[in-house]
Structure 1
Amino acid sequence: MTQQQIKNLEKELWDAADELRGNSKLTAAEYKDPLLGLVLLRFAQNRYEDAKVSIANSLPINPRTGKQREATKDDFAGAGAILLPEKAKYEYLASLPESEDIAEAINNAMKLIEAEYQDLAGILPKSYQEFDDKLLRDLVRVFNKDAVRHAKGDVFGRIYEFFLMKFSMQGAGAQEGGEFFTPPSLVNLIVNFIQPNHGIILKMKFMLI
């Protein structure tokens, strides 16, 4: 994807997401964390799908059974991804019928990931019940377009940073002393956090200064 294509995608996604918020009763501050949570969840699935292919090509075949063993969390970590439970996959959420509670399903997806990765406990957003059902379904569809489904890590880093900048311009991170803007170095850290390739995942707390 070229730089211009990435810029176009950033703007297209932001315009769609911001228009949805504009038609809701949510403030930018209320909207920010759940929206960015969906971006990270979409990226986690993209990494999962890429890793699944590479793992399938690398796992040895058991000579007695003629089959490969089941991939583990360690296999996915070695491939730079996290092992997503079935009901935590973005595709599962995007395909839920209208009769299902989409907010509860997304909250549950975040809880399932935290249950599998204890170091993530308490970090992922789980306030999707505050969103109108139609708003949330439309928002999930925004990040399920083909261009997003095939985006790689550097593209998501750019999108994440772009969204943070836009939210800061709207005052979503405002405090009494002014506003904040998350620097690119922290954005890269957040993106790398869900794309581990070695070592131990550490629990982080974010402070606004």
Structure 2
Amino acid sequence: MSDFEKQLWKAADKLRKNIDAAEYKHIVLGLIFLRYISDAFEELYEKLQQGEGEYAGADPEDRDEYKAENVFFVPAISRWPYLQSEAKKPDIGKSVDNAMDAIEKENPLLRGVLPKVFARGNLDPTNLGGLIDLVSNVALGDAKSRSADVLGHVFEYFLGEFALAEGKKGGQFYTPRSVVELLVEMLEPYNGRVFDPCCGSGGMFVQSEKFVADHQGKINDISIYGQESNQTTWRLAKMNLAIRSIDSSQVKWNNEGSFLNDVHKDLKADYVIANPPFNDSDWSGDLLRKDGRWKYGVPPAGNANYAWIQHFLYHLGPSGQAGFVLAKGSLTSKSSGEGDIRKELVEARLIDCIVNLPPKLFLNTQIPASLWFLSRNKANGKHRNRTDEILFIDARNMGHLINRRTREFSPEDIQQIAGTYHKWRNPEGNYEDVKGFCNSAPIERVRELGYVLTPGRYVGLPDDEDNFDFNERFIALKAEFEKQLKEEERLNLLIVENLQKVKLE
């Protein structure tokens, strides 16, 4: 699958020409989405047309037939075969915009979601036609149900590639897949309400549904709730979820954001999974000094980290659990009362596990990050009673570079970290501390260290580093450096020699 996705990405990127990646993503993802809903519609359309079994006497143009099966109704001018037949015409951009409009009119759930940017002057009609041909070739010849699944994967892969292409800005709508997989794998959201109050393009929800499916659960066992303050990103989330047949009716947008306008005020979730903006100073904290959510202390107006933690806790049910990403500074900071809030969280026995992450995992920041896991009830009977302990995992040296700037976790890394957490919290887990990697610390120890939560302070050095001999290491490094200097000298002479051989006319 990934080779096919890579080829597809290369071909789409070639057609990009001079269009900015941020704009181009809506064009490409919009077309993939259009093809997906058209395929899903046609699959049901054919069954209704044949009229066999439960579909006997059905009318393929009856909107209610599609509603009953949770399939979007696609009007004739929006169906993929029609757009394919128009692909070589100079006004194809207008045709695609009209197709998007017609779908929104027919399907209230998609109102205001689909991109209508295809007739703009900077998008050459020939390139748009080329893109339509490209998307037409995805899963060509497959059954419609299979093509829908393939298109879902392609959509997700392209989201990640666009995030990489946009670099810093990409991180605002996309959490790297291996980080999402780790969070979900550790939390194990088998059933209940899953909430992400800063949901970006919906990656946490897609991964949660995948987790349930991979463990033979029923997709309907979980329901999702989300909020996003960037409308463009929210539109991506709605498409990303629809392409996976995930109900996104509770994924809401407003531009004030979760602090000022919490659209799920009364929600008590079983799981909160999130990657909020790091160290956000522009969160309107000065307007919320007396907010009821700050049960453990008022967060500083200049940094939202501890506001997010308390917002998550506010929305957790009595046995709810949260897993989220935060800047590593939040583990030690004492400024503006953050140390006091952290102390309260530790003493309230809410912190279950902290994972120190390696650098270069995130696209939009070089700020070191950590994962926090909170549990409302650490003695709830589902796992062992670990009320007076916190698990610390130091994963700083894990993961591998996929390019110079970006690192990701392998499936084995994810299994090792998540497996350690599960062994620790499960009654039959056979958990053991591993020097340099993990340590189960009693609350007493956390008190002694002044409520600092950096895993490195608890896990110690690995055994091989305990025997570290400075003199030996210094001599080895010095010898290596001298060898490199000699090699540099040799190469410089070689360059000079070769330059002398160049004959100028």
- Matching of residue 82 in structure 1 with residue 72 in structure 2: yes
How many aligned residue pairs are there? 193
Partner in structure 1 of residue 116 of structure 2: 126
- 1:123 Cα deviation after fit: 0.9
1:18 maps to amino acid: D
Q: Summarize the Cα distance change of 1:52–1:89 in structure 2 as closer, same or farther, 3 Å threshold.
A: same
Where does structure 2 lack aligned partners over 5 or more consecutive residues? Answer: 175-200, 208-237, 256-275, 278-505
Q: Tell me: CA distance 1:169–1:206, structure 2 relative to 1, closer, same or farther (3 Å).
A: farther
Cα deviation, residue 27, structure 1: 0.9
Q: Which has the higher helix share?
A: 1
Q: Does 1:167 align with 2:196?
A: no
Tell me the residue number matched to 2:44.
51
**Matching of residue 143 in structure 1 with residue 138 in structure 2:** no
Kindly report structure 1 stretches of 4+ aligned residues shifted beyond 6 Å: none
The code of the aligned residue for 2:30 comes to G
Per-residue CA deviation, residues 97-125 of structure 1 (Å, 9 max, x unaligned), is 64451000000000000111133221100
Calculate percent identity across the aligned residue pairs: 27
TM-score of the aligned structures, taking structure 1 as reference length: 0.78
Unpaired runs of at least 5, structure 1: 1-5, 62-67
Distance in 2, matches of 1:88 and 1:173, equals 35
Give the counterpart letter for 2:45 in structure 1: K
In the alignment, is the contact (CA less than 8 A) between 1:110 and 1:125 conserved in 2? yes
CA distance in 1, matches of 2:10, 2:65: 37
Deviation at 1:144, TM superposition (A): 0.7
Which residue identity lines up with residue 66 of structure 2 in the other structure? F
| Whole-angstrom distance in 2 between the partners of 1:195 and 1:117 | 17
Aligned positions of 1:27-46 closer than 5 A: 27-46=20-39
What is the TM-score normalised by the length of structure 2? 0.35
Query: Higher mean Cα deviation, 179-188 or 134-143?
Result: 179-188
Matched, 1:193 2:242: yes
Change (3 A) 1:100 1:25: closer
Deviation at 1:190, TM superposition (A): 3.8
* Counterpart-to-counterpart distance in 2, 1:80 and 1:183: 20
Q: Name the structure with the higher strand share.
A: 2
Higher relative contact order (CA 8 A, sep 6+): 1
1:96 is aligned to 86
Contact 1:47 1:195 in 2 (8 A): no
Q: How far 1:154 moved relative to its partner?
A: 2.7
Provide the C-alpha distance between the structure 2 equivalents of 1:42 and 1:77, rounded to a whole number of angstroms. Answer: 19
**Which has the higher Rg, Structure 1 or Structure 2?**
2
Task: Note the C-alpha offset of 1:71.
Answer: 4.2
Q: CA RMSD in A?
A: 3.0
Deviates more, 1:136-145 or 1:187-196: 187-196
